[in-house]
Amino acid sequence: MKNYRFNLTYFVLALLTVLLLQDYLKGVKTTVVPYNEFQAALESNEIKEVVVYNEEVKGYLKEARKKDNKTVIVARRVPPELRSELEKYGVKFWRANESSFLSDIFSWLIPMLFFIGIWIFLSRKIFSGGQGSFMSVGKSKAKIYVEKKIKVSFSDVAGVDEAKSELEEVINFLKDAKHYERLGAKMPRGILLVGPPGTGKTLLAKAVAGEAAVPFFSISGSEFVEMFVGVGAARVRDLFEQARKHAPCIVFIDELDALGKARGANPMGGQDEKEQTLNQLLVELDGFDGGEGVVLLAATNRPEILDPALLRAGRFDRQVLVDRPDRIGRLQILNVHVKKIKLDRNVELEQVAALTTGFTGADLANLVNEAALFATRNNRESVTLEDFNLAIERIITGLEKKSRVLNKMEQKIVAYHEMGHAIVAASCSKVNKVHKVSIIPRGVGALGYTIQRPTEDRYLMSPLELENKMAVLLGGRASEKLFFNEMTTGSSDDIAKVTEMARAMVTKYGMIKELGHIVYEQQQQSYLGIDQFSPKTKNYSEKTAQLIDERVKEIVDKAFEKAYHVLELNRDIVEKSALELIKKETLTGEELEVFFNQLN
Answer whether 195's CB lies under 8 Å from 298's CB: no
Separation of alpha carbons 481 and 536, rounded Å? 35
Residues in the chain: 600
Contacts of 146 (CB under 8 A, 6+ apart): 215, 216
**What is the dihedral sign for C-alpha 36, 37, 41, 43?**
positive
Q: Domains, the chain, ranges and CATH?
A: 143-321 (3.40.50.300), 327-397 (1.10.8.60), 408-596 (1.20.58.760)
- Mean pLDDT per 10-residue section of the chain, whose length is 600 residues: 51 61 54 76 77 73 71 72 55 54 65 76 57 48 57 80 83 78 78 88 83 80 66 79 82 85 63 73 69 79 85 83 88 90 90 86 92 92 90 81 75 92 89 86 76 77 92 94 90 92 92 89 67 62 92 95 94 93 89 88
3-class SS of residue 71? coil
Is the pTM higher than 0.85? The answer reads no
Separation of alpha carbons 532 and 519, rounded Å? 20
548 backbone dihedrals φ, ψ, rounded to 5°: -60, -45
Separation of alpha carbons 281 and 303, rounded Å? 17
The single-letter code of the amino acid at 180 is Y
Answer whether 255's CB lies under 8 Å from 219's CB: no
Count CB neighbours of 469 within 10 A.
21
**What is the dihedral sign for C-alpha 391, 393, 394, 400?**
negative
3-class SS of residue 228? coil
**E-only strand ranges, 41-107:** 47-52, 56-61, 72-76
Answer whether 33's CB lies under 8 Å from 73's CB: yes
Residue of 395, 417, 398 whose CA lies nearest to 406: 417
pLDDT at 2: 46
| 418 included as an active-site residue | yes
> What radius of gyration, in Å, describes the C-alpha atoms of the chain?
43
pLDDT at 309: 85
CA distances from 140 to 1, 150, 183, 569 (A): 21, 21, 36, 70
Answer whether 574's CB lies under 8 Å from 423's CB: yes
Answer whether 61's CB lies under 8 Å from 37's CB: no
The single-letter code of the amino acid at 546 is Q
438 backbone dihedrals φ, ψ, rounded to 5°: -145, 150
pLDDT at 159: 82
- Burial bucket for residue 406 (CB in 10 Å: 0-12, 13-18, 19+): middle
Over 105-130, what HEC string results?
HHHHHHHHHHHHHHHHHHHHHHHCCC
Question: Quick one: how far is CA 31 from the chain centroid?
Answer: 78
The DSSP line for 304-371 is GGB-HHHHSTTTS-EEEE-----HHHHHHHHHHHGGGS-B-TT--HHHHHHH-TT--HHHHHHHHHHH
pLDDT at 572: 93
Q: Which of 255, 275, 418, 480 is catalytic?
A: 418
**E-only strand ranges, 508-597:** 586-588
pLDDT at 190: 84
